[in-house]
């Protein structure tokens, strides 16, 4: 069972907030003794999701939680926005990131960087993406 040990919610409205959030996540990651490579994976994943939120939904909310399961500690990030939503999640999760005009959401790549990945989206209402990375996962 995954327990939530602490919660911290941050609004992300402008690009500068991305930097703030990245630093915040890094602080927490260091506190739970997450290795450098895992830190990089988590913050990069967060960066991808944040940019999506800013680009497609004019910003949103990010919830940072320290979680634990048994003896393991980890960080769970929940990105929620009230944007247009993703009509075809299955399609968005397919690899085939193109560097052409269609920028793509970078979701499959992001999923590879974390231990748990969950996405819920409703067209016209918004999207919520939750990712979890264990300190030593």
Partner 1 sequence: MDKIPILRMGAFLLVTIQVDLYDRLALNLEADLVQMVNKTSAKGVLIDISAVSIVDSFMGRIIGNIASMSKILDAETVVVGMQPAVAITLIELGLPLKGVHTALDVEKGMNLLKSMIDDFDDDDQEVDDDGFIAE
With CB under 8 A as the contact rule, the residue among 80, 110, 121, 127 that binds partner 1 is 110
Q: Distance (Å, rounded) from C-alpha 133 to C-alpha 121? A: 21
The DSSP secondary structure of 50-95, one letter per residue, reads HHHHHHHHS-EEEEEEEEEETTEEEEEEEEEE-SS--S-HHHHTSS
Q: Which stretch binds partner 1 (CB under 8 A): 2-10, 62-70, 78-86, 93-101?
A: 93-101
Which residue stretch of 4-12, 59-67, 106-114, 119-127 sits at the interface with partner 1 (rule: CB under 8 A)?
A: 106-114
Structure tokens of 97?
A: 């990131």
**How many residues contact partner 1, by CB under 8 A?**
24
Task: Answer yes or no whether residue 47 interacts with partner 1 by CB under 8 A.
Answer: yes
Q: What distance in Å separates the CA atoms of residue 114 and residue 93, rounded to the nearest whole number?
A: 14
Please select the residue that binds partner 1; options are 19, 30, 91, 123, rule is CB under 8 A. 19
For position 51 contacting partner 1 by CB under 8 A, the verdict is yes
């Amino acid at each position: 069972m995954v327990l939530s040990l602490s919660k911290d919610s941050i609004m992300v409205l402008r690009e500068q907030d991305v930097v703030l959030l990245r630093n915040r996540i890094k602080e927490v990651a260091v506190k739970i003794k997450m290795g450098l490579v895992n830190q990089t994976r988590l913050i990069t994943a967060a960066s991808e999701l944040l940019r999506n939120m800013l680009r497609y939904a004019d910003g949103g909310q990010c919830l940072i939680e320290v979680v634990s399961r048994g003896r393991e500690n980890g960080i769970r990030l929940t990105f929620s926005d009230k944007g247009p939503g993703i009509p075809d999640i299955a399609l968005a999760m397919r690899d085939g990131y193109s560097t052409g005009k269609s920028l793509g959401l970078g979701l499959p790549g992001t999923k590879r960087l974390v231990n748990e990945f969950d996405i819920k989206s409703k067209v016209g209402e918004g999207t919520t993406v939750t990712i979890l990375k264990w300190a030593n996962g």
